[in-house]
Amino acid sequence: MKVGFIGLGTMGGGMASNLMAGGHSLVINDVLPKVAEPFLSQAALWVNSPVEVAEKCEVIFLSLPGPLEVKNVAIGHNGLIEGLRKGAAVFDLSTNSPTVVREVNSTFNDKGCYFFDAPVSGGPTGAASGKLALWIGGDREIFEKYKSILETMGDQIAFIGPSGAGSVAKLVHNCAGYTIQTAIGEVFTMGVKAGVEPLALWDAIRQGALGRRRTFDGLSEQFLPDNYEPPAFALKLAHKDVSLATALAKEVGVPMRLSNMALEEMTEALNRGWGQLDSRSPLKLQQERAGVEIKVDTAKLKEVLENDPPI
């Protein structure tokens, strides 16, 4: 199939290469023509604007820096909207704002076309190797029509929900990752300053309970089913552990902003009388503040876990 691709940078270049390896012919555009050279040598067709890409393709992929660039390419002057055929589908592989995604999708729908948020996770290495997760928001029926093309770029293609849902999933993932990164840096520096050699510390903790499992798998046991008893590990014991860790940090002079916030959450939960509940019970406090109630059927959780691909 003739496929449009706009944005051939670090991520886009790898994904575009995999589309070509999958047998698709590309119509390409980028603000930097030089990045197109490797694709032109493989018979890709260069055009000078997004509107020209739209005029030649029924399915188009975007891999751009952010919301402003996506919006300009999609609905700006000489943008895709000016050349799209009725029924055309555009998949935005960028990390984007759900609000912008929904605005662009609404504009496309008025013309009988479809705009999907399809952010990816896996980094440049995954983009090159095809080991990418793609999280799709938009019209499910149209998504199914083009799923096989998406599978040439990634090995984990998931339809998340209506327009914007894929972008929400990506923002949750990335924000969690960088927050966890900050917390790990905080406690790791405390451990090193307390006298443990960095390599020995890292090698030890990566074999602990946290290191041996996927980051989000723990949510399946108490948080998602909203069931904190009987406890796997009681909150009062976890509170003791974090109290000891923050006390050690004070002794050795290491700031522990996030850890002290976690301790405050645990203390509030203790004051609610939750000491005998599971150590994850303080997560209920955030649900209260956010005004959401989370309760997932345990059978459905089990089904997801059983269908997980090997790591």
* Residue 92 backbone class (left: φ over 0; alpha: ψ -120 to 50; beta: rest): beta
Three-state SS letters, 131-145: CCEEEEECCHHHHHH
* Rounded CA separation 73/58 (Å): 16
Residue among 262, 260, 241 at smallest CA distance from 250: 260
**Is 240 a known active-site residue?**
no
Of residues 34, 131, 170, 193, which has the active-site annotation? 170
Residues near 118 by beta carbon (within 8 Å), at least 6 away in sequence? 61, 91, 92, 93, 134, 135, 136, 137, 150, 166
Answer for the pair 56, 4: CB distance below 8 angstroms, yes or no.
yes
Residue among 183, 170, 107 at smallest CA distance from 137: 170
Answer for the pair 89, 142: CB distance below 8 angstroms, yes or no.
yes
Answer for the pair 153, 176: CB distance below 8 angstroms, yes or no.
no
Answer for the pair 28, 49: CB distance below 8 angstroms, yes or no.
no
Query: What residues act catalytically?
Result: 170
